[in-house]
Structure 1
Amino acid sequence: MNYTQIVKEDRGSEEMETFHLAIVCVILSAIALSSCHCHAITNVNTGFVCSEADGSATENAFQTNLKNLLDTLVVKVPVSNGFYKTETGKKSNKLYGLVQCRGDMSAGDCANCTKNAAAAALKECPKSKQVWTWFTWCFLRYSDQSFFGIMDQASAAITNDTDFDDPYVVSKGLDFMGGLASTAPNQPHMFQKAVLDVGKSGKRYGMAQCTLDINRADCGKCLDSQLTLFRTIIGNKRGWETYGSSCFMWYHDYLFYFNISTPASEGARRPSSHIGVTIGVIIGMLALLAVV
């Protein structure tokens, strides 16, 4: 297994640098799923980030607000087209949180993923006031500082380090995903999936999505940034995924998404087919977290 860390942006603050490096270490250890055998329809925890431990995070007022926040997200997101943001508490005790489910998720899968993400956040980051948790099917984030509408380019890329593709197909694949990056922001829910036919090499499947708290222009910038940042990591692979705070991309040589035509709020059922895939993991991290 290989690891590639990409750290940019000089804040001019030793405290900020320490915070960023701590985040990099946490997410690297969390996402490193060595030789994981999984299914295309399996929902797994792909990573988490915790801010530095804060003793006041265990106080009753914070814990009460956090419970109310997470309970609200679990209840509201499956009936809100797979995205919901809210805030709880007052003044210094205020908390902000959101959940973004993948656009092909049913209401039931979205709800279950949110429950799992909330449980993982409490388990992995019990003394943190700023938490990011990524699952295959959803992304959960909460903080004691408002982040709604602020595009964050912090991202991680996951790919198999030996599963190389034909150079011609690689070129087509990158252009294909670039097209998704351009068109996804204009979709009703800033979510887009498509199929690329590469002849004898078969098909490639792509998906792109942004969190619905950011605007369409920032969505495009976020997706383009991931393609640019991780180009040397993903550029010659048959499959890869990027997970960020504001946008996400997936590219594989197998059908990994669900072909549902109704939104999560209408409770669409997912198909029962299981498609297997074995992957290794290599990670790149851009530490641009702007919340302190």
Structure 2
Amino acid sequence: MFLIVTTLMLTNSFCHADVNENTGLQCSKVDYSATENGFQTSLNNLFSSLVNGALQNGFYKTTAGKNSNKVYGLIQCKGDISGNSCAGCTNNSITVALHDCPKSKEVWVWFRWCFLNYSTEDFFGVMANNSVALMNETDYDDLAVISNGLSFMSGLASTAPKQPLMLQTAVMDVGLSGKRYGMAQCTRDISNIGCGKCLNAQLVTLRTIIESKRGWEIYGSSYFMWYHDFQFYSNISITASAKRLSSYGVGVGTIVAVLSLLTLL
């Protein structure tokens, strides 16, 4: 398994309200058969099912079409948002996919509230390592906190797979520096063991990028992690001043490194 890390500067606003924003996108190579009626019909049927399915419990996977036009799709929403917010985020993801990847048969779209993936290949249960890391590059944490931050999140990586929805939150009290809040989640098509391996592998691989930051977010194809100095979960309506973020991810920008990951089998 490999992780391709690319670098770009974003002008995303990031605030204490849990604002839903597009955090990453990856399109497969151009395939003109993606515009043919048969595949488009399958894709439209898939999208309709995903929007309706997302209303149920924040996770839904399904297929549409047959033979060469068969397409597999998955939606995973952030565990603390409502069904309506999940469906709305699914619609936003579909809009981005159709606009930015109109000739692709495999697409990944990351929003803060949800993740959309569809493909003509059966990827259900496959632990891919496409990922985007989002943070404020200049917002460094206190030295006394840095040494504990990754250990705190590593604990979440160990406990999240054991939860019924593979979702875990926790709070770390750091004295005069306040508190740090963490959340870890995996897509529910992968195994509990795979979830733990995915989360821990990301912490190891991205350590040098995230360990000194006061806040960061990782969005992957099978896993998600958030770490901040404010309670960002179950807290969508509170507004606060914005922070500028940088993003390290897949499918955009200039490739700067290819890092070998742990075998996740």
Q: Is TM > 0.5 for Structure 1 vs Structure 2?
A: yes
Residue of structure 1 in register with 2:254 after alignment? none
CA deviations 1:41-66 (Å, max 9, x no partner) are 21000011000110100000000000
Code of the residue aligned with 1:86 in structure 2: it is T
Q: Return the alpha-carbon distance in structure 1 between the equivalents of residues 188 and 120 of structure 2.
A: 20
Residue of structure 2 in register with 1:246 after alignment? 222
Residue of structure 2 in register with 1:266 after alignment? none
Gaps (5+ residues) in structure 2?
251-257, 261-265
CA deviations 1:50-83 (Å, max 9, x no partner) are 001101000000000000001110011111x100
Q: Return the alpha-carbon distance in structure 1 between the equivalents of residues 123 and 85 of structure 2.
A: 26
Q: Return the alpha-carbon distance in structure 2 between the equivalents of residues 235 and 39 of structure 1.
A: 20
Preserved CA contact (<8 Å) 1:101 1:137: yes
Residue of structure 1 in register with 2:49 after alignment? 72
Q: Return the alpha-carbon distance in structure 2 between the equivalents of residues 103 and 35 of structure 1.
A: 22
Is 1:213 the counterpart of 2:178? The answer is no
Offset, 1:88? 0.7
Gaps (5+ residues) in structure 1?
1-7, 10-19, 260-270
Is 1:272 the counterpart of 2:248? The answer is no
Code of the residue aligned with 1:273 in structure 2: it is I
Offset, 1:34? 2.5
Q: Return the alpha-carbon distance in structure 1 between the equivalents of residues 40 and 241 of structure 2.
A: 40
Residue of structure 2 in register with 1:237 after alignment? 213
Q: TM-score normalized by structure 1?
A: 0.82
Is 1:283 the counterpart of 2:248? The answer is yes
Residue of structure 1 in register with 2:91 after alignment? 115
Moved over 4 A (4+): 284-288
Residue of structure 1 in register with 2:253 after alignment? none
Offset, 1:140? 0.3
Offset, 1:92? 1.4
SS at 1:34's partner residue?
strand
Is 1:61 the counterpart of 2:26? The answer is no
Preserved CA contact (<8 Å) 2:134 2:248: yes
- 2:18 pairs, out of 21, 38, 41, with 41
Offset, 1:168? 2.0
Q: Return the alpha-carbon distance in structure 1 between the equivalents of residues 230 and 239 of structure 2.
A: 11
Preserved CA contact (<8 Å) 2:18 2:233: yes
Code of the residue aligned with 1:70 in structure 2: it is F
Q: Return the alpha-carbon distance in structure 1 between the equivalents of residues 115 and 68 of structure 2.
A: 25
Aligned length: 254
Offset, 1:155? 1.6
Offset, 1:110? 0.6
Q: Percent identity?
A: 57
Is 1:51 the counterpart of 2:28? The answer is yes
Q: TM-score normalized by structure 2?
A: 0.90
Query: Equivalences for 1:18-167 in 2 at 5 Å?
Result: 32-34=9-11, 36-79=13-56, 81-167=57-143
Larger strand fraction of residues: 2
Residue of structure 2 in register with 1:180 after alignment? 156
